[in-house]
Structure 1
């Protein structure tokens, strides 16, 4: 399956201790080039994130940004019950020694250092949640890359159909072109009575037409493995053959066909640059 290297995804997860969100953006690149933007408290996640990415992506510049928003402080307050019990026992002991016992005021207990404290957040819990969410984001990114890759494959196949039509046009015109060429050369050499091997030129033109067979490109597009580099090589081969056809052209028909071939090949080359 053809995968594009251009895609974007955003995944968010809410927890009692806060909200995590990942944004992943990928563009075309010759190799896999990961970039991570992480909160300072979560920077040690990077090796595990790189490992997840390497296992599922092959090429592309991939920028991953993690944002962590802790829950509001009021939602995180907890009571140190052990300390409250100790203070209550101490307060009652003191009150029993007084002639006018006083009732314990809860608000005064709340002001004692350590009675109210921010709820502790387990950093390992946050890291595990961030890794799990990143895997979900990667899965969604790959889905988008596959969908755009299908669109690119359709566009490339349309241009391959155009190349097939041009090649067929050249093949059909080839006998007449070769005959005219043969006659022109014979007329030029008639004055010196030189010998001509008419089959040589014919064989070369037939070979050029055969080389522009696009079946190999179609076959590569159907492969499951990453095919971007292979397609890029095939585009170079097709472009060389189109240049050769143009340089050896002896009539307007084949010159025009060579130009049209180069236009289609260049359009495909630009699309291939974005395939993984």
Structure 2
């Protein structure tokens, strides 16, 4: 039986290397890579893309659009790990747990766009609550998140891990112009009527994300409290292998969130921290920005596509 061929275009970048590592020992597929001298040769890349069963694009946005434009073979399927196509209507958003039967949509898709790391956590928390009517679509959502410095790609990793690297602050907030490219993605797939307030940061650790969304209960319908929000999330992800929703008993016992707790996995942990006296709730997501936030998600989508 012929094994499906998988070509990673951009396998020397952070996400590409991680995907290659996750796939290289698989006996159920054939992993195709180009020699170093041919990795930037447009003709060889085009040939490799059109000869494979599934192409995984781990490229800057402009290069990913170029690579998608190379495709002439209608049988080729694509997973784009860049942000080039994340809000494009012709591409299926690669977050299997996002909605009922969405995994099946990914399995049957020809073009899949991998979610961004931060949007994975934000959408996972917000979309089920919006769809259930517990969170109004016009809620003034704010998303605060800190990622490991690997979220900045190879350049950031090299800068932090060089032998002569200067000491860096424990957290560096960025995106101060409020134009981060992930914001439209969060708004669109979370189902929000207005642009959310998104404040990202890099921490002085390699990988892992902790993301939080504060909720004021006074802005929600009467009777909506932390217990109802937690129950909604728990029901939505009840059968999700890679998503765990903490119980209120578990979150009450917690004093901190470790952004590195799920590193090396494709798992996503969601929590609801409630203070009824103050009428406030804090939603949280912890996951690996190189796992569920990037390469792990790509491999999960690949497995769905190969199962179709």
TM range (shorter): under 0.3
Q: Which gives a bigger RCO, structure 1 or 2 (Cα 8 Å, sep 6+)?
A: 1
1 or 2, which has the higher helix percentage?
1
* Rg larger for: 1
TM-score, reference length from structure 2: 0.25
1 or 2, which has the higher strand percentage?
2
